[in-house]
Structure 1
Amino acid sequence: MKKSLMVQLLSVALLMLGCSPKPEDLPQFSNADISKLMTKVTEVMVHDVTNPPLAARFFAYINLSAYEVMAQHDTSLNSMHGTLNVFPKIIAPEAANYSPSLSAILAMMHTASKVQPSGSMILDFEQQFLDSCLELGYTEEIILQSKKYGEEVSKQLLAYVSEDGYNKISNFPKYTPVEGKGYWYPTPPAYFAAVEPHFNTVRTLTLDSASQFKPAPPVAFSEDKNSPYFKMLMEVYEEGKELPLEHRKIASFWDCNPFAMEKSGHLMVGLKKISPGAHWIGITGIACDKAGKSFSEAVKIHTVVAVGLMDAFISCWDEKYRSNRIRPETAIRKYIDPTWEPLLQTPPFPEYTSGHSTISGAAAVILTHYFGDNFSFTDDVEVSYGIPARDFPSFITAAKEAAVSRLYGGIHYRDANENGTAQGLKIGEWVINRVEKEKAMPVAIDQH
């Protein structure tokens, strides 16, 4: 009621003055508006069952759209031209009487509607958003000009998107699992085919190549019960036999598996879950809100985190299909217990390195750079999906827990988590070095 009354009084005052409002005199957008849009983008990803690497790609380009708009109006932000790999120089559109922050939000929506399969859902959300802008006092002219500006920037960015190589992947030969012991093979209950086996061919945003931060080789597969590999396998098996309640909570909290299926009689029912990248984008929004970051600051932080997520997935997927290591579920059923099932469903791609560990390490380094070492927060990103909130004293602590959750869940060996985290830390530092033009503070995580 108060907001409505204020809008009415503002409108009356402007009519009395015989002039239209200026964008800078109207209620301004905040970091909360970015979070609301990221939540909607995530909902569309869940609807589309968007795989984790592809979700990170979407987040990167959607956030870059807003960043490039704000970089043309905020002197504290520099265009990503000259920073990201072959990123174009975005030409500022000709427009008058528009709101930069509104243009940034509309640029994100336009990009999201074009890159996401169910982009029409974003357009429905956009209409609702614009209706709320009218209620805030934004005139149709300001909205029209802001939309024009944002979409022109988005179109330039979409040309960059179209050249990253992802659209060529469908022309590659269909992936066939490698024959032989110790290699990955599709797992129950759905036996999905390999996801994004050619994602390492996608153009990186900051990395020199997909293999720039190639991790140490995985522990070699062996059927010898005294071998290092078999000892790791037994660790997963023993952990899963009598999993402590707290370990169950941790594994479920960081599950983030868009491919999870549940048997219902003779049917297989898909479970609605977000991706690992969406989880960290949500954490980014929580941090920006707690720290009271401005709209421009929030746009930048979301963008850098998203860039880190995309490069981390490219790097991780490069290793996954190089080492092609067998999942614990397959090996345990064959060599130890044919009835064993992991707490979490095994995702449809090779085991090494752990994707969640890798991207969590990268995101944690980037967020630590912007918010500090001991930034505590309550992670309630998945409350709407039935997952209770958890408190963390730092981003690094959260990343460490995300990594060990894969062991507790029975879907990764210890070395995949530890080496994946190390891989992610290096990528996070590299991204900060590129974007901020300064050396990031090295971060180490004690996994034990």
Structure 2
Amino acid sequence: MDQRFSIKRLNTGFLVILLLLLINACTIEENVTSISEPANSFDATVALKWNGLLIDIDRYAPGYRPPAAARLMAYTGLAAYESIVPGMPEYHSIASNYVGLTLPTTNVELEYYWPASLNAAYAFMFRSFYPHISDEDKAKIDALESNLNAQFLGEITEAVLLRSNAFGKAVAKAVFEYSIKDVYGHDAYLFPRPDNYIPPVTGPNGEKLWQPTFPDYTPALFPYWGKVKPFAMKQTDLLGKPPIPYSEDPDSKFYQQANEVRITVNTLTHDEKWIAEFWSDDFYGVTFEPAARQVAIANQLVENEQLALDRAIELYAKLGMAMCDAGISIWLTKYHYNVMRPVQFIRNVMEPGWKTALNHPYTGVKGISPEFPAYPSGHSGFGGSAALIFTDIFGSNYAFVDNCHKDRFEFLGMPRSFNSFLEAGMENAYSRIPLGVHYRMDCDEGLRLGYLAATRVMQMDWKK
């Protein structure tokens, strides 16, 4: 009798201990404190302010043209996400996807204020990725961090602020150190046009390949970007499909696609010119670049929908990663096939003296083409990947107005309305034809790779 009683007591005690261990294990795994307000109880003000500053800095940040800017957005988005995910009980950390990335953890018995953690993470990433920007822009980073911290002190104690700041900064530091390990991507913005790259003149079948183009003959931009480390795409995903074979035969598909570009530019309507200039974002110092354009759209959506902080940070993280991977895939494909720009083919084969419709509004230089091979289109990849991420967050039938350039006067930037994100992404992609800088096949494949990049990001294990 006593023995049975002892065994029963032992079993009961064992079950209690086991239950406590399981509870403790779940708490450690989720790394969520019960005394901290969850991230979804805050609005997205902090995220909006930092991403608003990002698109301002992007316009004038040397070297950060596509696709390097998209990479910065991906790492910054990852740091931001991980700095508050302990306060997002419905979400997982995604750090385990990245070998060599080790992140700090919170103390589950202490209080954290997630907007403060996020503020510190953004500030650290901006200072780290933008060491070379103007003193004026550096001062904006300092001022934003300081002003937000001052506001937080009206809500929390100094001890909670310092603890939260320290955690956010430690997360960002770990993510930035992980970025350093990517030798082909991390510092590439400092050398966007490496002197040691010489573009091939002919391909394996004797076809003529891309060379720096009229009128400025600018050297190749980021020719080694295809070696950069992706976030979600598989290695087998990265290289795009072969382009339509080069041919100077008027009956060939290649010739016909070039002729479409030539005729479209030569007979440009007002609406076509508006679409082309609206989505251009080609010039450093004139606008933000094409990846930041999608962040600018995201900012409008976050503000219009008044997203909670957790949902906004999910959006920015997914958007940055999808565009980063799209850029890697597209630049790998560009410099693998080295398809010449329409201006090169049309001037050599069809119409000497022909020019694109891409004109610099400040310098007056006309007929410009971007300084890398045509196939596939980067705009199409950034626009396509962003369209799928926006659809994932906001739905497939979300009508919106893009006000990104509503106050610009140097080009046709009047707001445009769309019935869905996919519609906007497709217009962005095919806007490159009336601008004269891409063939239709470039836009088709750019969209496909952008969709694939976004799909791979969305397939990651974000939620519990």
TM-score, normalised with respect to structure 2: 0.80
2:276 corresponds, among 237, 246, 251, to 251
Q: Does 1:66 align with 2:92?
A: no
Match of residue 443 from structure 1: none
Q: Does 1:425 align with 2:443?
A: no
Could you say if the C-alpha distance between residues 158 and 178 of structure 1 is closer, same or farther in structure 2, counting changes exceeding 3 Å? same
Please give the root-mean-square deviation of Cα atoms over the aligned residues, in Å. 2.6
**Following TM superposition, by how much is the alpha carbon of 1:200 offset from its aligned partner in structure 2, in angstroms?**
1.1
5+ unaligned residues in a row in structure 2: which ranges? 1-34, 359-367
* Distance in structure 2 (CA, Å) of the matches to 1:85 and 1:188: 42
Match of residue 223 from structure 2: 197
Bigger Cα Rg: 2
**Following TM superposition, by how much is the alpha carbon of 1:338 offset from its aligned partner in structure 2, in angstroms?**
2.3
CA contact (8 A) 1:80 1:87 kept: no
Match of residue 173 from structure 2: 155
2:342 corresponds, among 307, 311, 328, to 328
CA contact (8 A) 1:258 1:275 kept: yes
Amino acid aligned to 1:36: K
Q: Which shows bigger deviation, 277-286 or 405-414?
A: 277-286
Match of residue 427 from structure 2: 401
Could you say if the C-alpha distance between residues 348 and 435 of structure 1 is closer, same or farther in structure 2, counting changes exceeding 3 Å? farther
Match of residue 60 from structure 2: 47
Match of residue 374 from structure 1: 397
1:23-34 equivalences under 5 Å are 30-34=43-47
CA contact (8 A) 1:109 1:123 kept: no
Q: Which shows bigger deviation, 295-304 or 28-37?
A: 28-37
Match of residue 178 from structure 1: 200
* Distance in structure 2 (CA, Å) of the matches to 1:167 and 1:302: 20
* Distance in structure 2 (CA, Å) of the matches to 1:334 and 1:405: 24
* Distance in structure 1 (CA, Å) of the matches to 2:175 and 2:145: 22
* Distance in structure 2 (CA, Å) of the matches to 1:216 and 1:135: 51
* Distance in structure 2 (CA, Å) of the matches to 1:122 and 1:141: 27
**Following TM superposition, by how much is the alpha carbon of 1:228 offset from its aligned partner in structure 2, in angstroms?**
1.1
* Distance in structure 2 (CA, Å) of the matches to 1:370 and 1:61: 20
5+ unaligned residues in a row in structure 1: which ranges? 1-21, 260-270, 439-448
Q: Does 1:214 align with 2:242?
A: no
* Distance in structure 2 (CA, Å) of the matches to 1:311 and 1:57: 8
Could you say if the C-alpha distance between residues 321 and 369 of structure 1 is closer, same or farther in structure 2, counting changes exceeding 3 Å? same
CA contact (8 A) 2:265 2:434 kept: yes
Could you say if the C-alpha distance between residues 132 and 419 of structure 1 is closer, same or farther in structure 2, counting changes exceeding 3 Å? closer
CA contact (8 A) 2:323 2:453 kept: no
**Following TM superposition, by how much is the alpha carbon of 1:216 offset from its aligned partner in structure 2, in angstroms?**
2.3
* Distance in structure 2 (CA, Å) of the matches to 1:437 and 1:295: 15
**Following TM superposition, by how much is the alpha carbon of 1:316 offset from its aligned partner in structure 2, in angstroms?**
0.6
Match of residue 126 from structure 1: 142
TM-score, normalised with respect to structure 1: 0.83
Match of residue 28 from structure 2: none
Amino acid aligned to 2:196: K
Give the count of matched residue pairs: 402
Could you say if the C-alpha distance between residues 131 and 426 of structure 1 is closer, same or farther in structure 2, counting changes exceeding 3 Å? closer
CA contact (8 A) 2:37 2:87 kept: no
* CA distances 1:120-151 after superposition (whole Å, capped 9, x unpaired): 62453332442354256256555444332221
* Distance in structure 1 (CA, Å) of the matches to 2:120 and 2:148: 13
CA contact (8 A) 1:213 1:426 kept: no
CA contact (8 A) 1:237 1:410 kept: yes
* Distance in structure 1 (CA, Å) of the matches to 2:433 and 2:298: 25
CA contact (8 A) 1:66 1:107 kept: yes
Amino acid aligned to 1:76: E
**Following TM superposition, by how much is the alpha carbon of 1:346 offset from its aligned partner in structure 2, in angstroms?**
1.1
